[in-house]
Amino acid sequence: MSQDELPESTPRDLPIGVFDSGVGGLTVARALRAKLPHESIVYLGDTARVPYGNRGADTIRRYALNAAHTLVGQDVKALVIACNTATAHGMDALLETFPDLPVIGVVDPVAREAASRTDTGHIAVTGTRATITSRCYEQALERLRPDATITSVPCPLFVPLAEEGWTEGHVPEEVARAYLSHLGETSIDTLILGCTHYPLLRTTIATLLDSIMPRHVTLLDSAQSTARAVADLLQERNLLREVPEGTEPGDDRAMMRFYVTDEPRGFMGTAVRFFGGPVARAEHIDITPLAT
Ligand code: DGL
């Protein structure tokens, strides 16, 4: 995709703003680009403040608002919170602060998918400490499937492992075993990877579960379901970009732009792994401070 400026003719032509604490949200951006190839995306990784997952609720809410204000300053038509931790603690504040903008978080879409796919009714949720303590998944799942049993497991070390590229081999296997082996005594058949970093450890987690569980466990991450939710909401609000029929992706001036709040060096190498392909050069951006 080119980095050309878009002709800003209608709100439909504006980009979708996507943010995460760092690179994890690129797993969502990747699914978005696949689902909506004619949409432009502005991605913000708050790399100066990552990780969010070990911080307190008020701090995370403030960071999420900062990131959202920064993207709104880039003139976006929707906000995607591509971070479970920021969704858990910032979603309500963003909905309140930007009432006219579609705001989509990553928790509800994958919770809906889990609630409809489980047969045993027993769902495991993994995530950062802050996501798990927020109980956002329990609340969403209890609404959707009141009979469900939910087992929540904080897995904080998965984030640095994914960032370091240690996603397979002895170290991540042992970490996964330490966090998840107790699930072998449960009836779970569905596990939510409730952190946008965790899809990179999917193979390691799936292999461990295959070895300890009496039944197959379906691993669900937020990426695909969130991309579908974004597509549905943009359609509903008549905000999908219109391109002439037969236009090839990449040939329609849709652009993808990356911003980071720390220096861009270092982001690019990691970003390629999370995005699953080449990414345009990231630019530094200062976070927009909240008005006091
Ligand atoms: N990407 C974040 C999430 O989905 C986790 C990384 C962090 O701790 O900042 O929760």
User: What is the Cα–Cα distance from 163 to 190, expressed in whole angstroms?
Assistant: 25
Are 85 and 155 within 8 A, CB to CB?
no
Span of 35-39, 140-144, 249-253 with lowest mean pLDDT = 249-253
Distinct helix (H) and strand (E) counts, the chain: 11, 10
Q: Is 52's C-beta closer than 6 angstroms to any atom of ligand 1?
A: yes
86 φ, ψ (degrees, to nearest 5): -70, -35
- Taking 90 as the threshold, does the pLDDT of residue 253 lie above it? no
Distance of CA 161 to the CA centre of its chain: 17
Task: Check residue 90 and give its pLDDT.
Answer: 98
Q: Between 270 and 252, where is the model more confident?
A: 270
Q: How far is CA 189 from CA 82, 118, 166, 267, in A?
A: 25, 6, 26, 35
Q: Is 126's C-beta closer than 6 angstroms to any atom of ligand 1?
A: no
- Taking 80 as the threshold, does the pLDDT of residue 5 lie above it? no
Q: Which two tokens stand for residue 290?
A: 């909240």
94 CA to centre of ligand 1 in angstroms:
17
Task: Check residue 3 and give its pLDDT.
Answer: 47
When pLDDT is averaged across residues 93-120 and rounded to a whole number, the result is: 97
Minimal CA–CA distance to 16: which of 99, 72, 90? 72
Task: Check residue 43 and give its pLDDT.
Answer: 97
Q: Which residues are catalytic?
A: 83, 195
Are 44 and 17 within 8 A, CB to CB?
yes
Q: Is 50's C-beta closer than 6 angstroms to any atom of ligand 1?
A: yes
Q: Taking the alpha carbons of 162, 270, 128, 142 in that order, is the dihedral positive or negative?
A: negative
When pLDDT is averaged across residues 218-247 and rounded to a whole number, the result is: 93
Minimal CA–CA distance to 26: which of 285, 288, 289, 282? 282
Size of the chain, expressed as the number of residues it contains = 292
Q: Which two tokens stand for residue 122?
A: 């027993």
- Taking 60 as the threshold, does the pLDDT of residue 1 lie above it? no
Task: Check residue 291 and give its pLDDT.
Answer: 61
Q: Is 84's C-beta closer than 6 angstroms to any atom of ligand 1?
A: yes
User: What is the Cα–Cα distance from 73 to 67, expressed in whole angstroms?
Assistant: 10
Ligand 1 pocket: which of 47, 49, 61, 128 to mutate (most atoms within 8 A of CB): 128
Q: How far is CA 278 from CA 146, 258, 263, 271, in A?
A: 43, 12, 19, 8
pLDDT by residue (tens digit) across 44-68? 999 999 999 999 999 999 999 999 9
Residue listed under structure tokens 């209890």: 142
Average pLDDT of the chain is: 92
Task: Check residue 10 and give its pLDDT.
Answer: 82
Residue 280 binned pLDDT confidence (cut-offs 50, 70, 90)? confident
- Neighbour order of strands in the sheet with 78-81: 103-105, 78-81, 16-20, 41-45, 256-260, 283-284
